[in-house]
Chain A
Amino acid sequence: MSSDLILNMRNISKSFPGVQALDRVSLEVGRGEVHGLLGENGAGKSTLMKILSGAYRPDSGSIEYNGQLIHIASPHQAQQHGIVTIYQEFNLVPSLTIAENVFMGREPGPWRFIDWTAMKRQTRELTERIGIDIDPMTIVRNLTVAEQQMVEIAKALSMDSRLIIMDEPTSALSSQEVEQLFQIIRDLKAQGLSIIFITHRLEEVLEICDRITVLRDGQNVGSRSVEDVTVNDIISMMVGRSADELFHREETRYEQNEVVLRVTGLSRTGTAQDPNATVLEDISFEVYRGEILGIAGLVGAGRTELARVIFGADAFSSGTIEIDNKPVRIKSPRDAIRHGIGLVPEDRKQQALFLALAVRENLSIAVLGRMLNWHLFVRQNEELDLVDEYRRALDIRMSSPEQKVINLSGGNQQKVVIARWLAMQPKVLMVDEPTRGIDVAAKAEVHGLLDELARNGIGVVMISSELPEILAMSDRIITMREGRLTGVVAREEATEELLMELMTLRVDTMTGP
């Protein structure tokens, strides 16, 4: 096997400010092999693949490709070597034809004129090679997600690719389409191509991959041949991330009988790409006063979508939402706020902060209405008192209330967002990845803060991709996969293995939650 490697990455390390993303990771991929790359969110899969595709440069380590040591300085160089990545978000121009997309920048023809006849013929040859029959002149916008993916594969083949990296290729496909994709992968494999297959769906790994490599906390946990492993083996390789420096919550006493938020049969259909896609399906759960409810799930499981729908940021197709046992109509974030629901969104810079405005303005924006003179003028001293109150309560570090939020650290930015919500005095506060991108000390502070909120009787819903965080913070945990609720686990029963199983296994293969 080792004599016939297409790729041999050795001791790759990469660090970002404050994070060791990869620590001496090695990866070997054989010729004609489908290699599964697995790991939790943030385990280092993306970083490793970005190094391979030339988007990042490693701090140290070597890459041997086709038996030769190579340096990949740019995505363009990676492509010249025949290493092509197909991202989840396709790199296609929707308004152009399939042929134009496949040969983008490499159009056949003399003197930069396009020889359309040749381009159409060559495109057809490529699509036939992967076994699909489609007019090369079709506009990409009119294709299904699965067809667009095939265009990406055709494009990779047109670059004479020997190694294709597929990042979560099945996440947006129906089961039929997945089967079709697997057939293509098998064909490519038979033609001698190698494929690195990144996925969260473990049963697919067993079906399509020859070997797997598991990453955890930026380290290589091991590589195995698929024949030698079971799903449970893979799960135990993936879990067990280091949990030191985490906040440890004491035993909590939330009121079992006081339901503050109840969601019943919530469903949402349709995304920007696919109006028929199921985003959320029949989700029901409760949040009790004073508890922290963790929502665990892998990327794309629908956790963020669930929070956004409850908050009125997106519409839902069916289902009911009750606050304090009374049904409420939520059609916009304004409605949700009026009923006491808050959301600290996933991406604070894009969705929460006004970066060009001061801390003071960011903090008070939603509650200005209660500090007005003559319903018009903001009482400035009251506003400054508010800032002062939360600066102390949350220990927000700023040079002055007039400091622009863009100049704060990530942890302090997050505190400003949380403070904005606390000022609104919500009954339920949903926090989506509350500690993403903030340093360890600030993480512990945010955790302490969430604990305090729960103690003060707020129902806290915490979405997190970090299982140790979920386990350390939650009173109860619900797990999601593919838009469905797959389990409700009490704090005492929760283990990483159990959660990972609920997060990764197909619902129909499980024996009830």
Chain B
Amino acid sequence: MATAAQTPVDFSAAFNMAPTPLADWLIVMPVAWCLLAGAVLLMLRKRTALHPGIAIFALIGLCLFDAALLVRVLAEGPLTMVMGRWLPPFGIAFTVDLMGALFALTAALVALAAGVFGRADVDTTGRRYGFYPFLMLLMAGVSGAFLTGDVFNLYVWFEVLLIASFGLLVLGSERAQIDGATKYAFLNLVGTTLFLIATGYLYGLFGSLNMADIIVKAPQLRDTAPLMTLTTLYLLAFAMKAAAFPVNFWLPASYHTPKLAVSALFGGLLTKVGIYALIRVLVMLFPVERDHLAWVIAVIAALTMVLGVVGALAQNDTRRAVGYLVISGIGVMMAGIALGSPGGLSGTIFYALHSMVVMTALYFAAGIGGTLAGSFLLSRSGGLYAGHAVLAFTTLALFFSVAGLPPFSGLWPKVLLVKAALDVGAWWLAASILVTGFLTTIATGRIWLLAYWRPAPVGAEPGTNPRAPTAVEGRHEPPVAAPGDAAPPFAAMAVLLALTSLSVVFGLWPEPLLAAAQEAAAALLDPSAYVLSVFPGEVPQ
């Protein structure tokens, strides 16, 4: 202490000396808030009656923080906060651009929906195993991944969400769940390890992990450093996370085993984190290398979308079919990454946001329908339309939305993507998107026909299917509603309707989201604003 007084230290060489305005705290609040709520819930782990209230309050708070953040980013461009006051690139930077803010807000909305749905779906045992604490910690990981501006930090948030997702997968520790979780855990660990190896390599090449710093340094290193190898490693690691063909088989093997609220959350969020990372690293950090890989990504995209939907056609279990639809959507999103044009990328971003909402809602719908019919198997269910017209029409709307039919939100991103593909003459990619849409219509139509439209078996009241056993098949926990209930639970239906109406609203009035997606895509292709927000005064290239 005495020496410090004698020789004054110039803190401004290492520290950001400007005071941080309170509004900048919005950048880290989504993460810090989720961690706080998760910790509080974990401390109250025995008081399960308090869990839903605290968690839903926290999730509403998260939505508000993310919404405020989005408003600020829309008004002011990318925002940066560097942890611990250190100057970048040495401090860990959180940099929020428009894409990150859009993804974070949609993820928060989906998590809120899952939290409300979980009130009915997750029983006391599930709560004692920690559904709500894990949900909050998962959201800390997801929000962190969307908001961070540091590659290694992105890896850390991947780990956080992965560990929370392991916990969510095995709520209740049943045999089928452990089986699904083992496959999920193994493949995700392989993907994460690849990600870590690639990141170590990246650090070795660049001596920096800050994304803005990498954008600045990449042009000088491009001639000498093996950036192509690095980009390919990242492509493989993130494709595994996103469940792209041929590394997609872990998803249908595991996503139908946990509670429905968990399946819905995973189907909505986790694969999109992989897509987000792909966009961030391939498009923003290594655009030149992505150009070289464009063919590979395009072929992967086409195969993923077509094979995904073919898988959905073949399923008897509605939850597994929805799992395959999630994969098919990943293919559509990867098509935009392969194209790499402003139109293609804005299509991908729009589709990812649409997919988060719609896939979550589809799992909810499949769950409510399955419990009402007494079975998730198409061969055993039927007659839902007669008893539950609202549910039937909502599900039909979601099916149209996922197939990309108007007037729902799935239409516009597909229009953007097909147009972008035709613009560069990739007619086969455009054709595969259209064929996928057509096959999706057939696949979802088949589910709707068999589970909803087809009359219930003779001599049965709707909802009390005599072919179905009293316990719901393929589920071992108490269902959302007991089979034979006259109406689905109110909260579950309300959540389903809210998510579906989001899809309808953005289908009928897509302009604001389209404009935001286009702006976000333009910012990714020309990241000078992103770099400027981290290094004020620096001019990239």
A, B assembled together = no
